[in-house]
Structure 1
Amino acid sequence: MKPTSMILTLILLCGLISSCGDVEPIDNPEATSVGESTDTVESTDPNSVCDLPSDVRFEGETFTFAVYENANTQNLMIVDEEDGETINDAIYQRKIKTEERLGVTIEQVIYNDNFNEFQNPILAGDNAYDVGNIRCTDALKVWQEGMIIPASELPYVNIEKNYWNKSFNDSLTLCGEQYVIIGDMMISTLDLTYALLFNKQLVADYNLDSPYDLVNSGAWTIDAMYDMMKQVASDVNGDTVMDDNDRYGYLSHPKQVLPNFWIAAGEMSVKKDESDVPYLAMGEERFNDVIQKVFEVLWDAETYYLPTDQLYDVPESSIKLFTNNQSLFMDSSFHHVQQLRGMETDFGILPYPKYDESQERYYSRVSYYNAPIVPVTNNNLELTGALLEYFNYISSETVIPAYYDIVLYSKVSRDDESQAMLDLIFDSRVVDIGDTTLCADIRDGFVATMFQTNDRNLASKLPTAQSKIDAFLSKMPE
């Protein structure tokens, strides 16, 4: 279901979204549904309405989620009470409405970010929870080890519905098996969507072209971004050393840089063949062209600030420099964008740039996601399938509108143009297996170090990367 503010975006997209020419197209995830408040938003689109039969109820039964807490996204499935915060109250309403509809009690257990705490009950044969909300990397592991029930076996679940993210789910099949499914109950796919923030004061001070106009005209490219960055980046104190006393073009955690740009260029580090089997695509010529271009405009031109603090996906030093007007652009997930509500200088929100103007559309990166999995110890698939179907539906009517319209539109986005950009960004989200499921071997395994150390020899890394892919494929379930 499209956001209520999508009319402007549809006008925007008419000239932008089409096939990708000589670039292999990446599936375009559907937009999430939005509304105007935390109240339930009624839809007239049949594909946005839950078709769960009215007599499907499970009186007196208890359903338990297992979740872990993460500093980079929101993971809680339920909260105990309303507290006046928009998202909290929407999550509470989701719980109440689901309990009333199905006649159940929903509970939640929270475990530390420790995979053993999650898998030990399964290994012990203990039905401790019905659905686990875990890291995408761990979801693959438990599937390979036979600890979960494939999503395709769940009754009542209709992934063709708008509240299931079909394009995401199409990318989350391996060897023809839908091992996990993502829907609107998972805020992490919004929280971990990445965008470019730009400092409006610096745009005005340097009389730069409007980034919004560049996006709308299709001219928002890496070269256009570079032209702006090189005018702003400066050794302010003249000591010939670029440090946190100077001004930059771009701020980002080193592990995020290259994936942001290659995905925005329409490339993937890992693709799937006609048999749905993953293969390494980093040796393709255009992929390498994109990587080398990014090194040139960031390292060679000294427009990039390398943070020394790298604990969080968006470093605290990046936020400090950006709010202090010391950088034109900052990379950020939407979870971390919300930390800038108090920034005095206005900022805008943009998609990452295209590789060049021959690329006919924009792509936005989801760096990670949390996956709901069903353990083999689950002894009530009827309840599980029904609850997941309704829970995702009611999330599209409560939590998603709260997140999108109120938290982002009202509290973060500061102008009408940024609101249109939000629609474009969320409509253009894609998932790269090498950046998510296999991030330990690819993105965090060697890509992050390459960029941090200005090592441009991608070809030398590919044999090791291929061996990781081969090892991964050897563990696929029969």
Structure 2
Amino acid sequence: MKIRKLICILLIVCHGILIFAACGAENAAPVDTTAAPAETAEVTEAAETIPPPDLPKADYEGYEFNIVTRVPSGTDPWGSGEMAVEELNGEVLNDSIAERNRRVEEDYNIRIVQTSSENAAETAKKTIMAGDNVYDLFVADLFNMKKIAEENLAVDLNTLSNLNFKNPWWDHSSVRDLSIGKKQYFVTGDFSFRSYNASWIYCFNKQMIEDFALDNPYELVRTNKWTIDKFSEMIAGISADVNGDGVMDQYDRYGLITERSNTLGMFFGAGNLVISKDSENYPIITINTERGAATLEKLLDFMNNTNVRVSETDKFISTQPDVWKGLADIFTDDRGLFYSIVMYTVKKLRNMDTDFGLLPMPKYDEQQQEYYTWTSPWMASGLIIPITADTERASIIAEYLCYVSMSTVRPAYYEANIEGKFARDTESEEMLDVILANRVYDLGMLYNWGGVGYLINDMTKDQKTDFVSRWEKISTKAQGELEKTIEAFKDME
């Protein structure tokens, strides 16, 4: 089955860590800041052949293992049901979480409970600073993880021998991208399906591709011709005032349905980084490369063109009760050629009559070796062990929980979402191999030193192209704040 092929490929991706090259010092020879590809060789029956972790045996005598997660809401539908469920209900993903927890609970004689919090960082601060050992793990969005870590409330995971981040059930991209120096305070892996949901992708309307006699996007990806220039060419000439009222609004047709974060998603997809790492794994700013500036010039040419795209920043969309439904409705009504979203949002297209396909972000040009996928930090989950926890117990359970998730939650996620809801054709499943092979996290978004993480989003929102002047205004502050962070991490070593 295709699903087994996807799982096997992802297992191998987890074995290979993407390596990002760092920029040299000023006046040094230019250094390529694009990501190196992960190996994606197919392995037969991979999940069954990978040995379990080498962990101590333990009987925790019915201990209540408490995990803090984020509360879902209207503006944050990604908040959690991923760590515990109330009961079996016949839904494959729900029941896989129950099965995972049952195995962990039986093997270590614990009871896993989930505590929902509207603000995981505040919950951590209140309980940990009070010295209360009430929570064993915190699992929430990466912004909350970063806040907990910078308050010195999290254990450096690299100091815990029971955690082995070389194991394939951990997301090696997150290990690489979210560490600073020798410190690793939070990470993600198979315990969480939200990092897959947080992958930035494109959907396309297959009927419109045919109606406008456009190139097959799947073939463009396969032949390395799926580039920003080709994308820009395809969306030109699609938009039209369908109802003839003389204004472009939610009732008309567009080449691109998007939001401000799409500029970032495509920036990363083109092999650029806001923050890279130096040879000692400390962050350096690389948003301001010639390639980065050239990429933004290409992207903003259509992201700022309201005759080509419709966005959540447009007044006729932003004033709707549900902005995101307003954008989705344009696509499901066959009035959008391409639609930039995170994978989670694809479920909103479930009832669309016209077939659609999934695509990775376009490359910068045909010379770029790999396709890259930005993982949205607002949606992806990280894991932290608080300093008040029993680190021996917490690390054993975290490692084992993630290990068991590899053979329960991960395949269930694909079965429930990719086979059943996301992919409507075998080509989309093939594209998912590409989408999930080279994912990117970026510390610049989390720390936002001097405003560098939000610079691109802000420029897109303002419909401006003044990247150079904006960068010059914040560069000194950004570098200064970055250096303070590095010094703080070095002081902890």
TM-score normalized by the length of structure 1: 0.88
Q: What residue number does 2:4 align with?
A: 4
Provide, for residues 124-153 of structure 1, a one-character-per-residue CA deviation record: whole Å limited to 9, x for no partner.
111120111133123222222211111112
Q: What are the ranges of 5 or more consecutive residues in structure 2 without an aligned counterpart?
A: 22-29
Q: What are the ranges of 5 or more consecutive residues in structure 1 without an aligned counterpart?
A: 36-40
Q: What residue number does 1:329 align with?
A: 338
CA distance in 2, matches of 1:88, 1:469: 45
Given that residues 188 and 370 in structure 1 are in contact (C-alpha distance below 8 angstroms), is that contact kept between their aligned partners in structure 2? yes
Given that residues 366 and 430 in structure 1 are in contact (C-alpha distance below 8 angstroms), is that contact kept between their aligned partners in structure 2? yes
CA distance in 1, matches of 2:304, 2:429: 32
Q: What residue number does 2:101 align with?
A: 95
CA distance in 1, matches of 2:362, 2:8: 20
**1:377 maps to amino acid:** T
Q: What residue number does 2:294 align with?
A: 289
Given that residues 449 and 481 in structure 2 are in contact (C-alpha distance below 8 angstroms), is that contact kept between their aligned partners in structure 1? no
Provide, for residues 50-90 of structure 1, a one-character-per-residue CA deviation record: whole Å limited to 9, x for no partner.
22347333232221101112424252311121111121111
CA distance in 2, matches of 1:319, 1:204: 21
Q: What residue number does 2:328 align with?
A: 319
Higher relative contact order (CA 8 A, sep 6+): 1
User: Of 59, 64, 73, which aligns to 2:61?
Assistant: 59
How many residue pairs are counted as aligned between the two chains?
A: 462
CA distance in 2, matches of 1:32, 1:375: 37
**Equivalences for 1:197-276 in 2 at 5 Å?**
197-254=203-260, 256-276=261-281
**1:352 maps to amino acid:** M
Given that residues 70 and 79 in structure 2 are in contact (C-alpha distance below 8 angstroms), is that contact kept between their aligned partners in structure 1? no
Given that residues 135 and 371 in structure 1 are in contact (C-alpha distance below 8 angstroms), is that contact kept between their aligned partners in structure 2? yes
Q: Higher mean Cα deviation, 394-403 or 242-251? A: 242-251
1:367 CA drift (Å): 1.1
C-alpha distance 50-18 of structure 1, shift in aligned 2 (>3 A): closer
Given that residues 60 and 110 in structure 2 are in contact (C-alpha distance below 8 angstroms), is that contact kept between their aligned partners in structure 1? yes
C-alpha distance 466-65 of structure 1, shift in aligned 2 (>3 A): farther
> The residue matched to 1:43 in structure 2 has which SS?
helix
Q: Higher mean Cα deviation, 326-335 or 243-252? A: 243-252
C-alpha RMSD of the superposition: 3.1
Given that residues 9 and 43 in structure 2 are in contact (C-alpha distance below 8 angstroms), is that contact kept between their aligned partners in structure 1? no
> The residue matched to 1:461 in structure 2 has which SS?
helix
1:187 CA drift (Å): 1.6
Q: What residue number does 1:49 align with?
A: 51
> The residue matched to 2:458 in structure 1 has which SS?
helix
1:360 CA drift (Å): 2.0
C-alpha distance 115-31 of structure 1, shift in aligned 2 (>3 A): farther
Once the two structures are aligned, what percentage of the paired residues are identical?
28
Matched, 1:428 2:432: no
Q: What residue number does 1:411 align with?
A: 421
CA distance in 2, matches of 1:59, 1:438: 44
1:322 CA drift (Å): 0.4
User: Of 438, 454, 477, which aligns to 2:448?
Assistant: 438
CA distance in 1, matches of 2:40, 2:401: 18
Q: Higher mean Cα deviation, 455-464 or 296-305? A: 296-305
Matched, 1:397 2:407: yes
Matched, 1:373 2:384: yes
Q: What residue number does 1:298 align with?
A: 303
Given that residues 137 and 438 in structure 1 are in contact (C-alpha distance below 8 angstroms), is that contact kept between their aligned partners in structure 2? no
Q: Higher mean Cα deviation, 108-117 or 145-154? A: 108-117
C-alpha distance 376-31 of structure 1, shift in aligned 2 (>3 A): farther
**1:50 maps to amino acid:** P
Q: What residue number does 1:467 align with?
A: 477
User: Of 278, 286, 292, which aligns to 2:283?
Assistant: 278
C-alpha distance 30-334 of structure 1, shift in aligned 2 (>3 A): farther
CA distance in 1, matches of 2:43, 2:88: 20
C-alpha distance 18-424 of structure 1, shift in aligned 2 (>3 A): farther
Provide, for residues 346-365 of structure 1, a one-character-per-residue CA deviation record: whole Å limited to 9, x for no partner.
11000011111121221111
CA distance in 1, matches of 2:124, 2:289: 38
Q: Higher mean Cα deviation, 184-193 or 21-30? A: 21-30
CA distance in 2, matches of 1:18, 1:52: 27
CA distance in 2, matches of 1:277, 1:243: 46
Given that residues 175 and 277 in structure 1 are in contact (C-alpha distance below 8 angstroms), is that contact kept between their aligned partners in structure 2? yes
C-alpha distance 356-301 of structure 1, shift in aligned 2 (>3 A): farther
